[in-house]
Amino acid sequence: MKKFFSTALARGLVWQLIGTLVGAGLVTGIRAMMGLSITDTFFFTEPAWVLGAFFGVLFFLAGNGSVSDWFKWSRGIDTPEHHEDHYTGWEKYLNVSLDHKVIGIQYTVTALLLISIGGLFALIFRTELAQSQLQFLTVDMKLFGQNGPQLYNTLMSLHGMIMIVSILLGIAGIINYVVPLLLGAQDMAFPRLNAFSFWIAVPAAVLLLMSLVLGGFDTGWTGYPPLSVRAPVGVQMFFLGVAAAGWSSILGALNVIATIIRMRSKGMTAMRMPIFVWAAVATSIIALTATQLIGLSFQLVMFQRLFGMGFFDPAKGGNPVLFQHLFWFYSHPAVYVFVLPGLGVISELLPVFARKPLFGYRWIAMSSMGIALVGFLVWAHHMFTSGMNEYLRVPFMYSTLLVAIPTGVKFFSWVATIWKGKLTYPTPMLFVLGAIVVFLLGGLTGPPNATVSVDLHLHDTYFIVGHFHDTIFGGFVFPFFAALYYWFPKATGRRMNETLGKIHFWLMTPSFFVLTFGMMQIGLLGMRRRIVDYDPALGFDSTHLVLTIAGYLIGLSVLIFIYNFFNSIKNGEKAEGNVWNSRSPEWQVPSPMPVHNYDQPFEVVGEPYDYGLPGSKYVEFSSPAKSKHK
Amino acid sequence: MGHFIIVGILVVVMAILTYVGLDAAGVATQMHPIEASLQSVSIDWLWNWEIMAISFLFALIVVPMAYSMIVFRRKKGDPSEGEHFEGNTTLEIVWTVIPLFAVLALAYMGSYSLGETRRVDPNAIVIKVKAQQFAWTFEYPEYGIVSNELHLPVDQQVVLKMESADVIHSFWVPEFRVKQDIVPGPLTDYRITPILVGDYKVRCAELCGASHAYMENNVIVDTKADYDAWIAEQRAIALANQTPEGQGKLLTVKNGCIGCHSVDGAKMTGPTWLGLFGSNAELADGTTVVSDEAYITESILDPKAKEVAGFSPTTMPPYTLSEVEIANIIAYLKTLK
């Protein structure tokens, strides 16, 4: 326990608490001197909470040591350039490390923690929805200053944003761990910035969860004004949490792009990069350039609340629809940030388990860039019913439908990749194939939403809810699990239990199909999204019960996964060699990966996916690779 | 070649089975809530085409996938690798260009269908709609009628001039298909031509706060005769309601009060009005107050002044009403025993 309290994580959290009190105290003091009220429903006043939360993030970073190297440099003190192994075991992961592999695991485990919290929230409100009428989230119950329906709205909103942050951390985890290994780099281009990007996500998650106890917010993760202008103070914690998480995402993306441009091995030309690297580039370009817009849109609402600036207040000449444009300019491309790395994982793993070259490598690489580009031009398809200029709806319908083309190229290429292969089905491959089918359902249910007139019916119903859960599960969740099962031996030298892995897959996949198909069906029939209760006359009770059961089964399967994950770190079957018989460079050296990655630099001498071409090699090490750790 | 023929046949079979299956599940030829508006017809037409395309594309990907998974699986003890081919530019161009045209065709059909839903009838009846947390109010300006039920004549286009008093709401009757947000500020138009007599519900489709789920009002499509009868009846009621109680009741409808306050004792967002007047109200700070004229007046003008125990911090906005209007509302409340 004493060890825990000396970790950077614990120190950061204590400093965040101190920072929050200092910031809030400062504002409260000024207000007291000005003769303004100094307390409110949740003890501090709203301005005090906002400055407190802001200070909390800064204090966390200053206190946990993730910026101390920069402070030292500014005072002219040198710091060691690379990894020091102060810590071993779990302590390594709770302290500031500059090693991209440690940071990758920190990201991944944080993502799994947040997925569990977001999933728990979903199960709570899914339970309420199992039957019409209010069961336990009643008008009479009270928690954190909210009654049942208000709490439902908060949980539903937080489910959305916590899952989004967990996805951003999950992809950052995979990219951080894998990309430098695929490139043959010793680390990311900016190791300190990398650590900073991870650590700022921790106070961000704390802020998001703080919103729950500060009255929550009933706006959905979209936070549309004027509703978000009227929401309790919790919405400010939500805004600040998103801003901090966005900061993490932007800086992380910058680092990924710099690493890929500057740190590739000899001979690794653009068209010889592993395909996952292409996906990482595409996703990072979006994250680097679009994330600012969600931060900005929330900041404008924050200022409207704090200072009465009427950006979105029609009485002061503002316009609520403007918010939606700013918000979706990030939040649509964001879904491509979520799915492109996952699609990259599919393309990366498929040849390994099909024992065949990736079909149409260049086309797949370019389709990622194409999706990233077109993704910037489609945001207003979320606003077909919003009352924006009517004539804008048609061009946005065309641009949105264009996304189908590069996405189609991926599907066709995947099918051609497994055609005439020699397929085997270990757990990662099951999740890859599951991902393709689930993402296909997400992809196919997309165009109806893009055609304006049909969308006028589908918008804001459970059809949309089913559709995007398909895209996110197919584009992120399934590939994320595939990646974890696949690279787990690389990180630990052991593999996860295959039987539990297969139970995980066969429990989750059918449940998930039932869940989203049921959602879409009742959505068509008139089930609106974001409602705590539904009219029993609609006859949705039995479907909702099935959906709830399916939700619990998915939760159970993820629990099995989490047990398998943590149990296998110590007890998994030893797997120190090239377990998947892959051509990729990271599998040519023994697992777990040594601290400084490759002892010998490698040179790219062939195509990455030439499975089945006798005598061909992707990489060649300068001298036979051997690890000092063996 | 044999593989391609088998897969080709299976794709066709699977596409048909998928479509038939989806139709049986009630989601193909119709989007299931009955078509009650002219606009829903062209929307469902496009939807049906989309389901056909979806069925085909689903089969086109899933069948060769499943086929490969079975036929090209690695047999036990077979150490060999898959067949070596890296791509085929012609094929890539084919599956880029054909989808491009398919997508353009779909976008064209989408534009056509959108045009159909937007057809304007210059003789459309105008009805004013007011949305607020958490109720809808309908005003027939020609007749001086205010109602919390929307009555529409069949086979006649109506244009709803919609405004919001507070946050964004969205007008949606699933049977009409078309949905339209109501943003505070400008008036929003919503055109619809009901084609089927029946009882429906307008359900707010844009999250608008704690009781969003319950922001539902009746929408009744009448035959021309029934509609005229209803109008006449409502006009008579409006005339008869020249009494203070009648005017008070009208005000509670018009201002959306009954979205949060029930008149039958049911617990909603705010306290019920049944038996409210003259009763003792227990306040959040523990004191009690008699619900008399002074207290009710204060609670309308400044709802936060005295909050009743057992309810969450009030979200009721202050209402600026004249003394006469408040007196009328109180007169109405007195009748609720």
pLDDT of residue A83: 60
Closest by alpha carbon to A123, among A159, A173, A177? A159
Cβ of A272: how many Cβ atoms within 10 Å? Answer: 18
User: Residue A627: pLDDT above 60?
Assistant: no
Q: Of A223, A156, A229, nearest to A531 (Cα)?
A: A156
Residues of B whose CB is below 8 A from A463: none
Residue B320, Ramachandran bin (φ over 0: left; ψ between -120 and 50: alpha; else beta): beta
pLDDT at position A82 is 66
| A311 upstream amide cis, omega within 30 of 0 | no
Q: How far apart are CA A326 and CA A441, in angstroms?
A: 29
CA-based nearest distance A532→chain B, Å: 6
How many residue pairs from chains A and B have C-beta atoms closer than 8 A?
Answer: 285
Is the CB of A361 less than 8 angstroms away from the CB of B87? yes
What is the average pLDDT score of chain A?
94
Cβ distance of B113 and A415 shorter than 8 Å: no
CATH architecture of B125-240: Sandwich (2.60)
Residue A320: phi and psi, rounded to 5, are -60, -25
Q: How crowded is residue A377: how many other Cβ atoms within 10 Å of its Cβ?
A: 16
Q: Is the Cα torsion angle B152, B153, B157, B158 positive or negative in sign?
A: negative
The mean pLDDT of A141-165, rounded to a whole number, is 94
pLDDT, tens digit (0-9, with 9 covering 90-100), for A419-457 = 999 999 999 999 999 999 999 999 999 999 999 999 999
Q: Is A26 exposed, middle or buried (0-12, 13-18, 19+ CB in 10 A)?
A: middle
Average pLDDT of the residues in A254-283: 96
Residue B84 clears pLDDT 80, i.e. is over it: yes
B244-334 to CATH, choices 3.40.50.2000, 3.40.630.10, 1.10.760.10, 4.10.110.10: 1.10.760.10
Q: Read off the DSSP letter of residue A426.
A: -
d(CA A613, CA A609): 9
Whether pLDDT at A492 is above 90: yes
In sign, the C-alpha dihedral spanning A12, A14, A18, A24 is: positive
pLDDT at B310 over 90: no
pLDDT tens digits, one per residue of A86-107: 777 888 899 999 999 999 999 9
pLDDT for the residue numbered A629: 45
Tens-place pLDDT, residues A305-330: 999 999 999 989 999 999 999 999 99
Whether the predicted pLDDT of A626 surpasses 60: no
Of the residues A453, A456, A611, the best mutation for testing chain B's interface (the one with the most B CB atoms within 10 Å of its CB) is: A453
Give A 227-266 residues with CB within 8 A of chain B: 227, 230
pLDDT > 80? residue B314: no
Report angle CA A322, A323, A326 to the nearest 5 degrees. Answer: 90
Query: Per-residue pLDDT for B190 more than 60?
Result: yes
Q: Which residues from B are below 8 Å from A613, CB to CB?
A: 84
- Residue carrying the six token digits 């207290």: B295
B323 touches chain A (CB under 8 A): no
- Local confidence band at A85 (pLDDT 50, 70, 90 cut-offs): low
CB A237 within 8 A of CB A223: no
pLDDT at B252: 86
**Closest chain B CA to residue A320:** B183
Report the residue of chain A nearest B24, measured CA to CA.
Answer: A521
H/E element, B135: strand B135-140
* Residues 9-48 (B) with a CB less than 8 A from some CB of A: 25-27, 31-33, 39-40, 42-43, 46-47
CA distances from A17 to A48, A211, B314 (A): 14, 15, 31
The two beta strands, B150-153 and B145-147, are unpaired
Q: How confident is the model at residue A565 (pLDDT cuts 50, 70, 90)?
A: very high
Nearest Cα of chain A lies from the Cα of B107 at a distance, in angstroms, of 6
Indicate the pLDDT class of residue A570, thresholds 50, 70 and 90: very high
**Residue found by looking up tokens 């954190």 in the block:** A144
Q: What is the ipTM of this complex?
A: 0.92
What pLDDT sits at residue B29? 77
Write the CA distances from A72 to A66, A79, A80, A251, integer angstroms: 12, 7, 11, 21
Pairing of strands B158-164, B125-132: parallel
Q: Across residues A574-598, what is the average pLDDT?
A: 92
Q: Are A230 and B313 in contact (CB under 8 A)?
A: no
Q: Provide, as residue numbers in chain B, all residues whose Cβ is less than 8 Å from the Cβ of A437.
A: 62, 65
Nearest CA in chain A to B166: A226
pLDDT of B1 over the 80 cut? no
Contact state of A421 with B82 under an 8 Å Cβ cutoff: yes
Report the pLDDT value the prediction gives residue B300, as an integer from 0 to 100: 87
Cβ within 8 Å of A, B 70-89: 72-74, 78, 80-88
Q: What's the token pair of residue B108? A: 């064209």
Work out the mean pLDDT of chain B and round it to a whole number: 90
B-contacting residues of A 42-71, CB under 8 Å? none
B186 touches chain A (CB under 8 A): yes
State how far residue B326 is from chain A, nearest Cα, in angstroms: 26
Note which residues in 209-238 of chain B have CB less than 8 A from chain A.
209-214, 216
A334 to A293, A316, A468: CA distances (angstroms): 11, 31, 12
Task: Flag whether pLDDT at A219 surpasses 70.
Answer: yes
Is the CB of B168 less than 8 angstroms away from the CB of A436?
A: no
Q: What is the pLDDT of residue A90?
A: 83
User: In terms of Cα–Cα distance, which of A583, A470, A455 is closest to A516?
Assistant: A470
How far is Cα A503 from Cα A398, in angstroms, rounded to an integer? 42
When pLDDT is cut at 50, 70 and 90, the band that residue B126 belongs to is very high
Q: Do B210 and A226 touch (CB under 8 A)?
A: no
Stated as kind and residue range, the H or E segment containing B172 is strand B169-172
What is the least distance, in Å, from the CA of B225 to any CA of chain A?
28
pLDDT of residue A504: 98
Whether residue A208 is predicted with pLDDT greater than 80 in this model: the reply is yes
What pLDDT, on the 0 to 100 scale, is given for residue A630? 38
Q: Is the pLDDT of residue A628 over 60?
A: no
Q: Closest residue of A to B208, CA-based?
A: A227
Classify residue B317 by its DSSP letter.
Answer: P
Q: pTM for the complete prediction? A: 0.91
| Domain-wise residue ranges, chain B | 2-70+89-117, 125-240, 244-334
CA dihedral A141, A146, A148, A149 (to 10 degrees): 150
Q: Cβ contact (<8 Å) for B84 and A356?
A: yes
pLDDT of residue B31: 63
